[in-house]
Amino acid sequence: MKNYFIIILGLLGLGFYSNQSYGQQDAQYTQYMYNTLSVNPAYAGSRDVLSFIGLYRTQWVGLDGAPDTFTASLHSPVGEKVGLGLNITQDEIFITSETYIDLSFSYTLNLGDDSKLALGVKGGGHFLNIDTNKLNTGAFNPGDSESEINIDNKFSPQFGLGVYYYTDKFYLGLSAPNILETEHFDENAANNNSFATATERVNFYIMAGRTYDLNSDLKFKPSTLVKFVDGAPLQVDLSANFLIKEKLTLGAAYRWSAALSAMAGFQVSDQIMLGVAYDRETTELKQYNDGSYEVFLRFELFKRNNRMISPRFF
């Protein structure tokens, strides 16, 4: 089993070194197009309704210590140009548990021709817990202070920025959900000058998507999400969704050199949408797990000016 842990740590940039550990970086989502607020604060209020989404992802099912992520977001326009949002994310992998709580503020500029540019900021806190008591002692020496990195819900502030340009048919966003790099020192080490740390790194996102009306009952939306983070491979997600009769969404996605995905969503009513996704690894890791699953619920109220929710479905 310890070989599985090594695979996880290596792929996610969590690898333990003799004197340093890198904390898990931002969680990944297959259905990112519905969960934009978690990575871009400028998205707050852009749907012109009070919008709630809850998303749960369990990754690499069957592999002990694999990631589990739950996120909940709530956002709404406040007045004509201001949007506010709240996002909470709980992310667990192996011996690490992270909780993010942040508030988002956006200000939207009307550019004409139904196009808008939103500028966003977010602020909040991050709680990091690393418990080496969960380690397989056969892989680490329990008396080795350099391998014992115990961090107990250590708080660090977070501050992020984003821009989001959108129309009814197109969107383009650039964001950095947290631009503060923090080092968490192991306070339980043998001396106060501990060499054992967990370091957060800045994640940068570029996102884009467009909606095409193929006919009166069928819409097509290709989209992409690109993530840059120092010390880790470039992550590129490509997806294509079809919206059928404004009710059923079917799609597929490819995470570059990592996974293939299938997605489905159903608009139960004007207020409620449900969605699921399944990922299958394309790397050697696929022989050790049964894939990854996501489910989400979106609930929306209080349409502005009693208008229909935008057909852009993002």
Predicted pLDDT of residue 2: 46
pLDDT (0 to 100) of residue 187 = 54
96-112 and 235-244 beta bridge pairing: unpaired
**Residue 112 pLDDT exceeds 90:** no
pLDDT exceeds cutoff 90 at 272: yes
Per-residue pLDDT band at 197 (split at 50, 70, 90): low
Q: Is 20 a residue whose pLDDT tops 60?
A: no
Q: What span, in angstroms and rounded, lies between the C-alpha atoms of 294 and 60? A: 11
Amino acid at 201: R
Decide: 297 and 71 in contact? Cβ < 8 Å.
Answer: no
pLDDT of residue 10: 45
Contact 23/158 with Cβ under 8 angstroms?
A: no
Q: What is the pLDDT of residues 131-142, one digit of tens each?
A: 777 665 454 455
User: What is the per-residue DSSP string for 28-46?
Assistant: --TTGGG-GGGT-GGGTTT
Give the model's pLDDT for residue 308. Answer: 44
Question: Residue 199 has what pLDDT?
Answer: 65
Higher pLDDT, 25 or 291: 291
pTM (2 decimals)?
0.83
d(CA 253, CA 31): 9
- In this prediction, residues 52-56 reach a mean pLDDT of 97
Give me the residues paired with residue 78 across strands.
82
**pLDDT digit string, tens, across residues 208-264:** 999 999 999 999 999 999 998 877 788 999 999 999 999 999 999 999 988 999 999
Give long-range contacts, CB 8 A cutoff, 24+ apart: 255-259. 255/28, 255/30, 255/279, 257/233, 257/282, 257/283, 258/282, 258/283, 259/283, 259/292
What is the SS3 assignment for 286? helix
- Rounded to an integer, what distance in angstroms lies between the CA atom of residue 214 and that of residue 212? 6
Closest CA to 65 of 13, 2, 115, 124: 2
CA-atom Rg of the chain in angstroms = 20
pLDDT reading at 196 higher than 60: no
Mean pLDDT of 42-55: 95
Angle 5-39-263 (CA atoms, 0-180°, nearest 5)? 70
Average pLDDT over residues 111-130: 92
**What is the average pLDDT score of the chain?**
83
pLDDT, tens digit (0-9, with 9 covering 90-100), for 64-109: 888 999 999 999 999 889 999 999 999 998 888 999 999 999 999 9
pLDDT at position 304 is 58
Residue 57 or residue 185, greater confidence: 57
3-state SS string over 182-198? CEEECCCCCCCCCCCEE
